[in-house]
Amino acid sequence: MSNLPATDYKYGFSKPENYVFKSKKGLDVGVVEEISSMKGEPVWMRDLRIKALGIFEKKKMPSWGADLSSINFDDIYYYIKPTDNQKSDWRDLPKEIKDTYDAIGIPEAERNLLAGVTAQYESEAVYHSFQKKWEDMGVIFCDMDTALRKYPDIVRSYFGRSIPAADNKFAALNSAVWSGGSFIYVPPGVKVDIPLQAYFRINAANMGQFERTLIIVDEGAYVHYVEGCLPAGEQVSLGDKWVNIESVKPKDFVITENGEAGKVKAVMTRNYKGKLVKISPISTYNSFRLTTEHPVLVVKRGDVLKKRKPRGGWLLETDTKLLENAVPGYVPAGKLEVGDFLVFPKIKASAITSLSEKELRLLGWYLAEGSTYVHKKLKMPIVSFSLASYEKRRLDEVENLIREITGKNVYRIADKNKRGVSLVVYSQKLRDLCLMHCGKGARTKILSQEIMSLEWDVAKPLVDAYFEGDGSVYEKGRLMIRASTASEHLARQIQELLARGGYYACINVRKGSADKILGRSIVRGDQYVLYYAPNKKWSEVRTTRDYYLVPIKKIELLDYDGPVFNLDVDAPNSYLVRGFAVHNCTAPVYSTDSLHAAVVEIFVKKGARCRYTTIQNWSNNVYNLVTKRAFVEEDGVMEWVDGNLGSKITMKYPSCYLVGRGARGEILSLALAGSGQHQDAGGKLMFLAPDTSGEIISKSVSVGTGRTSYRGLVKIIKNAERVKCNVRCDALVIDEQSRSDTYPTMEVAEDNVQIGHEASVSRIGEEQLFYLMSRGLSEVEATSLIVNGFIEPIVKELPLEYAVELNRLINMSMEGAVG
Amino acid sequence: MNLQIKNLKVKAQEKEILKGVDLVVGAGQVHVVMGPNGSGKSTLANVIAGNPMYTIVDGRLTIDGKNINKLTPDKRAKLGIFLGFQNPIEIPGVSVFNVIRKATSNKQSFSSNKQKAIRNKKTNGQLPVASGSVSAFRQDLLEYAASLKLSPDHISRSFNEGFSGGEKKRNEILQMLALSPKLVILDEIDSGLDVDGLKLVAQAIKKFSTLNPKSSIILITHYARILKYIKADFVHVMADGKIVKSGKQKLASEIEEKGYQFLSV
């Protein structure tokens, strides 16, 4: 791989995605012109960009804040145009949301309101009707590139008016290379009652790193805009489920080589052009692709051979003793050979269950043969099991199980042609149980976390029943058990449960086609065929106490050009790809090319109100340097709610320029700095007219070696009489090494004003911890609860789904830091 | 729950506070521990609950035969030990509801294994009733609060922040009712309560005993006045880090009349 640039990221799991255009690394007039012409921009924007580039080159790096010395501007791709265009999306509220209303203590009345909103979120059609409604009211909500095309005059008259390129080095950079972001215009008097939201992916190699947002709220109008960089609607890896690597976030837990959960410290992504190695073990479904240098945990076949000559075209025979006692080691993927043994760890399980053996068995039958729905006319919850009419013994068993568990009558309903029988029961309890633990739909059935945490002995009734229902026994030299399912997740999960019991099951994919079941013609989707040998003597897979050794059947080299991903996982520095252990990258974790330099400009006209909410959780190698400013006219109100959790360094001080009499600005700033992070955040209030008022509330938490700084500026000019201003900054410091500083600046040129300033720094007391622990909370839970209480004044201002996510993120940070 | 304390010696910051305490509390019994200020009563309560401020120098603490000397406070809580604090702390921004919910959810996950067997027997393999539903839990909590004459918005308030002394004490009892522990230690629950407050708390304790007949209670108190409302099985008097006298309820009234002096050895 000598053609790779030395700085390029070496190891990674790949994601097949094609980019339409990618600028070269580094920045010059050529790059800026290219970006502008790729986007087909008007001349004035191109000139603005080029001028901004000149300013950027002249401006010095800010030296007063966090340490930015390791940013290398020549090592950055400034523009990548993906095939997949920008998406702004409503995020479905999580299911647990109703519980959460209680948990975060939202008053009853407000809860009912939110419940209404939830229902609206859940329907895409409703979302569209909102969009239609906004359009009818004259609201414009689109991405910035579109705005520039469709509304060039508005954009031109506001772009850079509150934050000119010359404002600071990063504003200049953004002006030169900006791409994406949101544009919002709300016409006079229009109140947009539902928050407008846009999500930016965490994926650092993706677009949106230099996004530009422009919001104009015309006289008397109102809007709430939410900017999130949490991934929308994606699953989280908790060890019970498998997710795409690109959706894994720092602080998630993934399973490592020893079968236990390890915390992800960072998710890294780079563009890679070259060969990828595709490795296929005996189970073709479990094949995976890696860059050639990515270390994979294996036992090399050459190390465990018998001292005997090879026969015919066979692979050299291995010595079982040697193999089972061999210590696996990491070998670059490019050096692997067919016949080498991959390590497939058995995932550790422990938990206890509230499910009885009979319930587990019935759930197994449900996985295989069950379905649940609500009867349309009767409005009755139904669970139904379909079996063949000749399966007498099974019919009896399932019927008995249902009866014992629900205590209700079971109806046997025969198929028209008498080949099939459905066992039907009207039971909400059973429906809930099935949905909770197994999901529904042939392709989407998925086992619950509770079941996936069970030991083999406990989970066995479920797996057995599943194979009895969906499976078949056949002999192919040896006794084999086979089952097929349309749910990819379920296949993986059953494979894992079996692995705990000492059975290595293979999964092969059968492509969808027309098929027949019980005489009926159907079209099958892809089927995942699981098969395993119950007598554990599969000749090719060896088992040891903690893992399986699975031989490689095929190795292919593929050409690739696109982004690759890697995870940086806490000790033991490895994670599983398709069930097999691979090592973290060994390249430096913190590269310089993850830079997020956004600009947000807001204009709040007379009597208008705007709220802008941000929760950023960038991965921990991102420099997050954002300029946000609002101009507020007479009697207008601007509210910034700004939450900073992720990134390596954040420097962000949302500001309000109160230019009209009676204008008000509020800034709520929240910062959480874990180890290696520095959150330099705060706010600026500029009182430039009489009777203006404003407030800054800052809450910061530092954990481990994390550092938070509050940096604030309050400026009151001469003749800005009767200004009222209040600043409050509280810091919570969790560990001995954690650090918190306060840098408040006040420039007051007028005497007739009221100013308040309060600051506090606190630690979590032993007594608080003992009290909560004496209630049964672990130290981590107790700490999390106290931290969540500390930031509650800001969290309660967040949209609910963000509040929930924030809670989860904080609990995870505490888990890593405490105890 | 059976608690056995044998020759317990405890120090805090190099100072010996308990100098060999022996105490046996049987399941369902109510014990009262009295004594003058500084005799070690509160220390005893804190040590049973596992406060890390105190170091056990010698002796054994056993619960149903299991040595708990080395268990952290959360593990003891999960065994069913509950301490009602003399001076409960504040947790700003966290509601009463949230603290108790967190506490009960922990308890459930722990006991589900043991209860599973029982429940399966009882219900003949029927589905367990969906326990732990949030609204049901809220309803329970509101009822407990009402029985303690705490307003319905009490559970939404920031934990102990701005509570009156009486509200803080009743808030401790509220947690006891919600957690139904197997060993309750109430550290001067009666101090800072007026007569009405004392009656309310005493009634709640009595009701708790009736509902949880196997749960044991240790009342730590300076005064005997709570004994007007609660019948104790045993009364112990502590002085200078030891239990110097044990008896029945009558002992308490003697102290009430004559003060601690009459015991001075």
SS in 3 state form for A548-601? EEEEEEEEEEEEEEEEEEEEEECCCCEEEECCEEEECCCCCCCCCCCEECCEEE
Interval B45-72: pLDDT, tens: 999 999 999 999 999 999 998 999 999 9
- In-domain check, residue A349: no
What the block records as the tokens of A17 is 């995605």
Specify the pLDDT at position A95.
Answer: 34
- Which of A774, A781, A789 faces B49 most closely, judged by CB atoms? A774
User: What is the per-residue pLDDT across A276-321, written as a single tens digit (0 to 9) for each?
Assistant: 777 777 666 566 777 776 777 788 887 777 665 555 555 556 777 7
Note the pLDDT of residue A104. Answer: 34
Q: Per-residue confidence at B123, pLDDT binned at 50, 70, 90?
A: very low
The answer to whether residue A809 is domain-embedded is yes
Average per-residue pLDDT for chain A? 76
Q: Which of the listed ranges A398-407, A409-418, A605-614 does the model predict with the highest average pLDDT? A: A605-614
Average pLDDT estimate for B171-185: 95
* Structural domain span for residue B13: 3-263
- pLDDT band, very low/low/confident/very high, at A679 (cuts 50, 70, 90): very high
B161 vs A348, residue with greater confidence:
B161
- Suggest the residue from B71, B79, B82, B94 to mutate for an interface test with chain A (most A CBs closer than 10 A): B94
The answer to whether residue A304 sits within a structural domain is no
A340 vs A512 pLDDT, higher one: A340
Is residue A58 in some structural domain? Answer: no
Position A594 scores a pLDDT of 72
User: What does the alpha-carbon distance between residue A603 and residue A685 come to, in Å, rounded to a whole number?
Assistant: 15
Establish whether this prediction's ipTM goes over 0.85: yes
Per the structure, the complete domain to which residue A816 belongs is given by 767-819
DSSP secondary-structure letter at A292?
A: T
Contact check, Cβ <8 Å, A354/B116: yes
Q: Given this model, what pLDDT does residue A483 score?
A: 82
Range of weakest confidence among A168-177, A482-491, B22-31: A482-491
Cβ within 8 Å, pair B127-A406: yes
CATH code for position B251: 3.40.50.300
Lowest mean pLDDT among A73-87, A137-151, A173-187, A645-659: A73-87
Higher confidence at residue A332 or residue B4? B4
CA–CA dist B16, A686 (Å, integer): 60
Task: Indicate whether A789 and A739 sit together in one domain.
Answer: no
- CA B250 from chain center: how many Å? 23
Give pLDDT, residue A409: 87
Comparing A33-47, A77-91, A640-654, the range with the smallest average pLDDT is A77-91
A775 chain-B contacts, CB cut-off 8 A? 77, 99-100, 102-103, 175, 179
Q: Answer for the pair A205, A622: CB distance below 8 angstroms, yes or no.
A: no
| pLDDT at residue A745 tops 90 | yes
Which residues of chain A approach chain B closer than 8 Å at the C-beta?
A: 98-99, 102-105, 107, 352-354, 356, 358-359, 404-407, 429-430, 432-433, 765-768, 770-779, 781-782, 785-786, 788-793
Does A505 share its domain with A521?
yes
Q: What is the pLDDT of residue A523?
A: 63
Nearest of A548, A345, A353, A350 to residue A455 by alpha carbon:
A350
Q: How wide is the angle at C-alpha A254 spanned by C-alphas A253 and A256, nearest 5°?
A: 130
Confidence of residue A567 (pLDDT cuts 50, 70, 90): low
pLDDT of residue A580: 61
- Partners of A105 on chain B (C-beta within 8 Å) are 95, 97-98, 156
Query: Residue A586: pLDDT above 50?
Result: no
Output the pLDDT for position A520. 60
A660 and A788 inside one domain: no
Same domain, A404 and A466: yes
Of B211, B209, B257, the C-alpha closest to B229 is: B209
**Region A420-428 average pLDDT:** 87
Provide the domain count of chain B.
1
pLDDT of B129 higher than 60: no
Average pLDDT score over residue span A455-469: 85
Query: At a CB cut-off of 8 Å and minimum separation 6, what does A126 contact?
Result: A119, A120
The reported pLDDT for the residue numbered B113 is: 40
**A520 and A613 both lie in a single domain:** no
Among A766, A782, A797, the domain boundary falls at: A766
Minimum distance, in Å, between the CA of residue B129 and any CA atom of chain A? 9
> Per the domain annotation, does A237 fall within a domain?
no
Q: Which of A90-94, A177-181, B26-30, B127-131 tops mean pLDDT?
A: B26-30
Asked if residue A128 has pLDDT above 90, the reply is no
The arithmetic mean of pLDDT across residues A330-339, rounded, is 79
Is pLDDT above 70 for A584? no
Whether residue B112 and residue A792 make contact (CB cut-off 8 A), yes or no, is: no
Nearest partner of A176 among A59, A70, A20, judged by Cα: A59
The answer to whether residue A591 scores a pLDDT higher than 70 is no
pLDDT band (50, 70, 90) for residue B188: very high
Q: Residue B22's pLDDT is what? A: 94
Residues A100 and A158 in one domain: yes
Is pTM beyond 0.80? Reply is no
Please answer yes or no on whether B50 and A773 come within 8 Å at the CB atom: yes
Mutate to test the interface with B, among A458, A774, A798, A811 (most CBs of B within 10 A): A774
Q: Are A474 and A617 part of one and the same domain?
A: no
Tens of pLDDT along A687-742?
999 999 999 999 999 988 899 999 999 999 999 999 999 999 999 998 888 899 99
A291 domain residue, yes or no = no
CA distance A760 to chain B (A): 14
A126-140, A177-191, A330-344, B168-182, range with the lowest pLDDT: A126-140
Give the number of other CB atoms < 10 A from CB of residue B52. Answer: 12
Does a cis peptide bond (omega within 30 degrees of 0) precede residue A572? yes
B96: distance to nearest CA of chain A, Å?
Answer: 10
pLDDT tens sequence across A369-400: 888 888 877 788 889 888 887 878 888 888 99
* pLDDT (0 to 100) of residue A574: 58
Residue A1 has pLDDT above 70, yes or no: no
pLDDT, residue A249, reads 55
Closest CA to B208 of B188, B183, B187: B183
User: Highest-confidence range of A398-407, A512-521, A629-638, A791-800, by mean pLDDT?
Assistant: A629-638
Q: What is the CATH number of the domain that holds A381?
A: 3.10.28.10
A651 confidence band (pLDDT: 50, 70, 90): very high
- Above pLDDT 90, what percent of chain B? 62
Rounded distance, CA A449 to CA B109, Å? Answer: 14
Least confident of A10-19, A133-142, A319-328: A10-19
| Residue to substitute from B46, B91, B118, B161, interface A, most A β-carbons within 10 A | B91
Boundary (domain end) residue, out of A747, A766, A785: A766
> Is it the case that residue A657 has pLDDT exceeding 90?
yes
**Which of the four pLDDT bands, split at 50, 70 and 90, describes residue A204?**
very low
On whether residue A392 sits in a domain, the answer given is yes
Do residue A771 and residue B98 have CB atoms under 8 angstroms apart? no
**What's the pLDDT score for residue A122?**
24
Q: For residue A76, how many C-alpha atoms fall within 13 Å in the half-sphere facing its CB? A: 25
Q: How far is CA A503 from the centre of its chain?
A: 32
- Mean pLDDT score, B161-174: 94
Task: pLDDT band for A76, please (50, 70, 90 cuts).
Answer: confident
Taking the C-alpha atoms of residue A41 and residue A520, their distance in angstroms, rounded to an integer, is 58
Chain-chain contact of A772 with B99 (C-beta, under 8 angstroms): yes
Does the pLDDT value for residue B127 go beyond 60?
no
Pair (A169, A96) in one structural domain: yes
Cβ proximity of A454 and A445 under 8 Å: no
Are residues A777 and A762 part of one domain?
no
Among the partner residues B52, B94, B103, nearest to A776 by beta-carbon distance: B103
- Picking from A352, A785, A792, the nearest residue to B102 by CB comes out as A785
Per-residue model confidence (pLDDT) at position A487: 82
Q: What share of chain A in percent tops pLDDT 70?
A: 71
Q: Among all chains, which residue has been given the structure tokens 């800005």?
A: A720
Residues in B touching A782 (Cβ below 8 Å): 74
> What is the percent of chain A with per-residue pLDDT over 90, rounded to a whole number?
27
Residue A78 has pLDDT above 80, yes or no: no
pLDDT beyond 60 at A119:
no
Instruction: Return the pLDDT at A505.
Output: 79
Name the residue of chain A whose CA is nearest to B98's CA.
Answer: A103
The yes-or-no verdict on residue A463 having pLDDT over 70 is yes
Among the listed ranges A2-11, A670-679, A785-794, B97-106, which one has the minimum average pLDDT value?
Answer: A2-11
Amino acid at B153: D
Question: How many domains does chain A fold into?
Answer: 3
Whether B125 sits inside 8 A of A107 (CB atoms) is no
N-terminal to C-terminal alpha carbon distance within chain A:
43
**Torsion region of A207: left, alpha or beta (phi above 0 gives left; psi -120 to 50 gives alpha):** beta
Dihedral of CA atoms A600, A605, A610, A614 in degrees, nearest 10, equals 10
> Do B102 and A99 make contact, defined as CB atoms within 8 angstroms?
no
Chain A contact set for B73 (CB, 8 A): 770, 773-774
- Residues of chain B contacting residue A810, judged by C-beta atoms under 8 Å apart: none
